[in-house]
Structure 1
Amino acid sequence: MTDDKRDGVPSAGTSTSGDAADAMEKVSSGIYDLIGVKGKASESFPGVMDCSGKDTKTYFRIFHPWSFTPASASDLDEAMERLKTELPKHGWEIVEYGPNNSKSRSITLTADNDKKKVSVKVIKMAAKSDPPMLSLDLVSGCYKVPDGEKVERF
């Protein structure tokens, strides 16, 4: 996601907040399908956030945090490996992979999908997390609402 050189956030086009949130849920669902191991996703919904430096009445981004808990803790590594392998086959570019700077040095994967104008950050929460899980944070590029509309906040 590197269209807008000023702040690193690409334009995602024109959409209402609701339609953009629906699109984000579809992206999350696609990622869930790629995990490919039995488990449960958290019940969470997308939200609206500001586009840095832009008019908050007409520009917005969508974020969608959720988690995935495998049915068996031993499947956590497989779930992360499957994402690392499968995301690039589905239009995602992995831009970062490896231990993060946390005390537990959790494995983190960051991937961008330029076509969908979405970025995902996946953290493997294994060390002290009970139960072990993947934490996923998706965020869109910057949308502009259609003329005459306002950003709905939720």
Structure 2
Amino acid sequence: MEVRDGETVKTQVEQASSRILEMMEIKGKVTDVGAVTVRCAEYDSDEEVYRVRHPWSVYQVPVSDMENAMDRLRSGLPKEGWEIVKDGVDGSPAKSPQIVAESKGQEYAVDVRLLDERKYSDDPSLIEVTVQSACYRVN
């Protein structure tokens, strides 16, 4: 497992998130609490093994614009060095459209879901994005 500087990883994850938002070419409100460092659950709790997660959403946009943004990701991610490893629906009852991609070196992954308010009773439509790093040891 790679030894990396946590602040560098956090910066790179946030840069990847920004680039994904640019690829989507969508105008709406964006939630952004910033990237957070979390322990990798698959490793012993005594080990100093972490990953950086950056969850955010785009909302207050017509669903048709969100669908177009997902299409732009389908074509744009591979051009930017990402491999789409899943393009279908998630496991929710609404079967929301989902794209999962990994960066070429697999240092990063992105999970994008379109949550359509027509399939949910109370929640507004949004595109939910989570960019995360691979697990790493701190230096």
Query: Kindly, what percent of the aligned residue pairs are identical?
Result: 29
TM-score, structure 2 normalization: 0.85
Deviation at 1:138, TM superposition (A): 1.5
1:48-59 equivalent positions in 2, closer than 5 A: 48-51=37-40, 52-54=42-44, 56=46, 58-59=48-49
- 1:44 aligns to 2:33 (yes or no): yes
Cα gap change, 1:120/1:27 in structure 2, threshold over 3 Å: closer, same or farther? same
- 1:144 aligns to 2:137 (yes or no): yes
Distance 2:59 2:128 in 1: 9
Q: Deviations over 1:75-111 (max 9, x none)?
A: 1110111111111110011101112221111111110
Distance 1:48 1:14 in 2: 15
Cα gap change, 1:56/1:82 in structure 2, threshold over 3 Å: closer, same or farther? farther
Gaps of 5+ in 2: none
2:58 is aligned to 68
- 1:104 aligns to 2:94 (yes or no): yes
Flag the structure with higher helix content. Answer: 2
Q: Deviations over 1:46-79 (max 9, x none)?
A: 1112232256553211111111125333311101
**2:17 aligned residue (4, 14, 28):** 28
**CA RMSD, aligned part only?**
1.9
Distance 1:44 1:76 in 2: 21
Distance 1:82 1:36 in 2: 8
**Segment of structure 1 superposing worse, 98-107 or 55-64:** 55-64
Distance 1:96 1:56 in 2: 33
SS at match of 1:42: strand
SS at match of 1:115: coil
TM-score, structure 1 normalization: 0.78
